[in-house]
Amino acid sequence: FLSLVAEFCCGFFVILILGNFWFLAVLYLLWLYLDWETPCAGGRRCQWVRSWTVWKYFREYFPIHLVKTSELNPNHNYLLGFHPHGVLVAGAFGNFCTDSPFKNLFPGLTPYLHIMPIWFGCPFFREYIMCAGMVSASKESVSHVLNNEGGGHASVIVIGGAEESLNAHPGSLTLNILKRKGFIKMALKHGAHLVPVFSFGENELFKQVANPKGSWLRNVQEKLQKMMGFALPLFHARGVFQYSFGLIPYRQPIHTVVGSPIPVKQNLNPTTEEIDQLHALYLQKLKKLFEEHKSNYGIPAHKSLIFE
């Protein structure tokens, strides 16, 4: 969905350049130059955009639910690790980038969804995603959010990243997380409490062309992902008036479960051992969150998370 909107925005910008409105394109390029650092400085959220009626229908389509398991004290800053990526990341967008129940369930907290910096280079599209509450996933951006004195900020990071979207098959429970420890280091440096978040149903929205590891398709996808910074999963779902084929996601319930916070004491220069220790604890808490709630959302008892 975001890719389609981004393509439309880029196309509109090209039309401005080629048409009689090239001067508007020049003015926008000047604005882009002056505003380049904003995505790393908290963005520019707009409540009007976040409360558009279309997002209410978006959440109700699946539907998307936000499940609270513990209180999050607004006097602290938090780093929420979102799992899994899926194809659409619908749970992250619906719960943290729209006027969702989040503000009522966690009063005093402002969520910031961190996404790949490349999206903020897209003309016009960057303005929309910042209005929705999205900011860059760069270290500078995460630091800006977590440096808020007095607390009340929540960085939401999709830990598996684009690479994990290649595992987004219905029933898949594989998470790319064993080598991803940068978020742990950021939490330690800023004393931000870690919160595991698991979105049940995220991988059920699309069917993806079979791409097991080692296959020619997976090799091509991984090479493209390393070159471009984002993955290209080959997926399909339903159409507008039929359910056999299309790009509209299936209507499958999404339950985004927010776990209990892991207290983190600030450590400006954490050692590798300290990072590994906290990372292991995070994996333990994430697995416990999944095991405690999987029966509520149709996951068989014998199924467990797979960490890669």
Lowest mean pLDDT among 20-34, 55-69, 129-143, 196-210: 20-34
The pLDDT score that the predictor gives to residue 16 is: 62
Q: How confident is the model at residue 2 (pLDDT cuts 50, 70, 90)?
A: low
Whole-angstrom distance between the N-terminal and C-terminal Cα of the chain?
27
The pLDDT score that the predictor gives to residue 118 is: 86
Q: What SS3 state is found at 263?
A: coil
User: When comparing pLDDT for 236 and 109, which is higher?
Assistant: 109
Q: What is the DSSP letter of 192?
A: P
**3: CB partners within 8 A, 6+ apart:** none
The pLDDT score that the predictor gives to residue 193 is: 98
* Average pLDDT of the segment spanning 190-213: 95
Q: How confident is the model at residue 300 (pLDDT cuts 50, 70, 90)?
A: very high
* Average pLDDT of the segment spanning 228-234: 78
Q: What are the beta bridge partners of residue 306?
A: 174
268-293: burial string, b at 16+ Cβ within 10 Å, e else = eebeeeebeebbeebbebbbebbeeb
Distance of CA 104 to the CA centre of its chain: 21
Q: How confident is the model at residue 17 (pLDDT cuts 50, 70, 90)?
A: low
Domain regions of the chain by residue span: 39-307
Q: How confident is the model at residue 55 (pLDDT cuts 50, 70, 90)?
A: very high
pTM summary value? 0.92
Q: How confident is the model at residue 59 (pLDDT cuts 50, 70, 90)?
A: very high
Tell me the C-alpha distance between 255 and 294, whole Å. Answer: 10
- How many helical (H) and strand (E) elements, i.e. helices and strands, does the chain have? 12, 11
- 276-287 per-position pLDDT tens digit: 999 999 999 999
**43: CB partners within 8 A, 6+ apart:** 112, 130, 133, 134, 135
Tell me the C-alpha distance between 123 and 28, whole Å. Answer: 8
Q: Work out the mean pLDDT of the chain and round it to a whole number.
A: 91
Q: What are the beta bridge partners of residue 83?
A: 198
CATH top-level class of 39-307: alpha beta
CB 79 within 8 A of CB 193: yes
Nearest CA-CA partner of 89 in 126, 129, 124, 29:
129
C-alpha dihedral sign at 65, 71, 77, 82: negative
The pLDDT score that the predictor gives to residue 10 is: 61
CB 49 within 8 A of CB 254: no
User: Would you state the torsion angle of the CA atoms of residues 57, 289, 161, 278, taken in this order, to the nearest 10 degrees?
Assistant: 140
- 245-270 per-position pLDDT tens digit: 888 899 999 999 999 999 999 999 99
Tell me the C-alpha distance between 35 and 56, whole Å. Answer: 30
The pLDDT score that the predictor gives to residue 294 is: 97
Residue 296, classified by CB atoms within 10 Å of its CB into exposed (0-12), middle (13-18) or buried (19+), is exposed
Tell me the C-alpha distance between 157 and 274, whole Å. Answer: 21
Residue with the two structure tokens 């090479």: 223
Measured CA angle at 57 (ends 43, 156), to 5 deg: 35
Tell me the C-alpha distance between 160 and 180, whole Å. Answer: 8
Q: What is the DSSP letter of 238?
A: B
Tell me the C-alpha distance between 283 and 278, whole Å. Answer: 9
pLDDT(120) > 60: yes
The pLDDT score that the predictor gives to residue 18 is: 64
Other Cβ atoms within 10 Å of 81 Cβ, number? 26
The pLDDT score that the predictor gives to residue 6 is: 56
Q: How confident is the model at residue 48 (pLDDT cuts 50, 70, 90)?
A: very high
The pLDDT score that the predictor gives to residue 85 is: 94
User: When comparing pLDDT for 224 and 7, which is higher?
Assistant: 224
